């Protein structure tokens, strides 16, 4: 599989009200204080020749308000675990989503912004 899982997820999340305006696959141009949902490909492996991959995706939710940060993190988590399985995005079908780590509090050491980080594994095939 040659598809970028982060690009596919960013495309999908930009269609979801409440998440769309915050999701990104990079931090370029971001200013401290701006709300952000940052997705990063943290690992994975090939499952079946050139057809199926497991992609591990780490997500950070950054917000000035701790309550809003945790709310967004759990909203994103629920969407990934409950809605993503079965969807086709950018030529990639999400067969299953498993949780590696639920959102946990990791404030930014420099800006002191509130950050919640979680991680999921996706089983993906190109269609």
Each residue's pLDDT tens digit, 57-102: 999 999 999 999 999 999 999 999 999 999 999 889 999 999 999 9
Find residue 39's DSSP bridge partners: 59
Reported in sequence order, the residue ranges of the chain that DSSP labels E, i.e. its strands, are: 23-24, 36-48, 52-63, 88-89, 92-105, 114-126
**Cα–Cα distances in angstroms (integers) from residue 19 to residues 5, 36, 37, 51, 122, in the given order:** 17, 9, 8, 29, 19
pTM comes to 0.91
pLDDT tens for residues 28-63?
777 778 899 999 999 999 877 777 999 999 999 999
User: Where are the domains positioned within the chain?
Assistant: 5-126
Given CATH 3.60.70.12, say whether it is the number of domain 5-126. no
Say how far apart CA 125 and CA 127 lie, in whole Å: 6
Q: Tokens 């971001």 belong to which residue?
A: 30
**For the purposes of burial, counting CB atoms within 10 Å of the CB of 69, is it exposed (0-12), middle (13-18) or buried (19 or more)?**
buried
């Amino acid at each position: 599989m040659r598809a970028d899982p982060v690009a596919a997820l960013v495309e999908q999340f930009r269609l979801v009200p409440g998440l769309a305006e915050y999701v990104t696959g990079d931090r370029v141009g971001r200013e401290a204080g701006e709300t952000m949902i940052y997705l990063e490909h943290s690992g994975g492996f090939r499952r079946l020749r050139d057809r199926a991959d497991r992609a591990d995706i780490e997500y950070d939710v950054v917000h000035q308000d701790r309550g809003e940060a945790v709310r967004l993190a759990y909203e994103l988590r629920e969407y990934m675990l409950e809605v993503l399985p079965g969807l086709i995005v950018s030529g990639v079908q999400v067969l299953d989503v498993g949780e590696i780590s639920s959102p946990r509090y990791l404030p930014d050491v420099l800006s002191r912004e509130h950050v919640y980080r979680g991680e999921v594994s996706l089983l993906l095939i190109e269609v």
